[in-house]
Amino acid sequence: MLLFAAAFAFTFAVFKPDRAPRPGPEPDAPVALLETAEAVLHYLREDGRIASTEVVSLPGDLVGLTLPELAAARPDWRVVSFAPERVVASVPCGPVTGASGFVGPRDGKVAVFRGSPEGCHELVEITNLNADLLGEGPERPAYIPFEDPAELPFILDGLRGRAL
């Protein structure tokens, strides 16, 4: 028993714990967005469903902001996740206005949408054309934008021509 106590005392004296606090990050240090950060934006329809998701480089005016500063700069964003390298936010769509839109895939068919494929849009109609006609790649994008609804018949006729 005496030998055990002596061994313990020796070990404690040689390997005594450091009682000084170890340096580390300050607990109240604000977390700020980095210049290389990305923003993941979920555009929400009025019913709460996600219309689309976009991943973009963080806009320059948001670099260096903390969470409270971001909330003040973008009051329409509901921040879901915040880290120096990525912010995830839900953004309300609001009503889709204007005549522009795009043709894109929906449920295996070619569909017509009003709005932007990268942001908020709403379905106008689903055609009987197969979505494979849209293709994908630099020569054949997954969607075809239009500025004026008068262009739409020409776009759909072009797709019908691919089906032949």
Closest CA to 74 of 85, 88, 55: 88
Q: In terms of domains, do 123 and 159 share one? A: yes
- Long-range contacts of the stretch 123-128 (C-beta < 8 A, 24+): 127/156
Picking from 62, 92, 122, the residue at the C-terminal end of a domain is 92
Residue 32 phi, psi dihedral angles, 5° rounding = -120, 155
Instruction: Give the pLDDT of residue 10.
Output: 61
Instruction: Give the pLDDT of residue 116.
Output: 83
> What is the span of the domain harbouring residue 114?
101-163
Closest CA to 50 of 58, 40, 59: 40
Q: In terms of domains, do 86 and 135 share one? A: no
Residue 122 phi, psi dihedral angles, 5° rounding = -135, 150
Instruction: Give the pLDDT of residue 90.
Output: 94
pLDDT tens, N- to C-terminus, the chain (164 residues): 666 566 666 665 656 655 655 565 566 678 999 999 999 999 887 778 887 788 889 999 999 999 999 999 999 999 999 999 999 999 998 777 788 999 999 888 999 999 887 778 888 999 999 988 887 655 556 889 999 999 999 999 999 988 77
Q: In terms of domains, do 116 and 75 share one? A: no
User: Residue 83 sits in a domain of what CATH number?
Assistant: 3.10.20
Answer for the pair 134, 110: CB distance below 8 angstroms, yes or no: yes
Picking from 75, 92, 109, the residue at the C-terminal end of a domain is 92
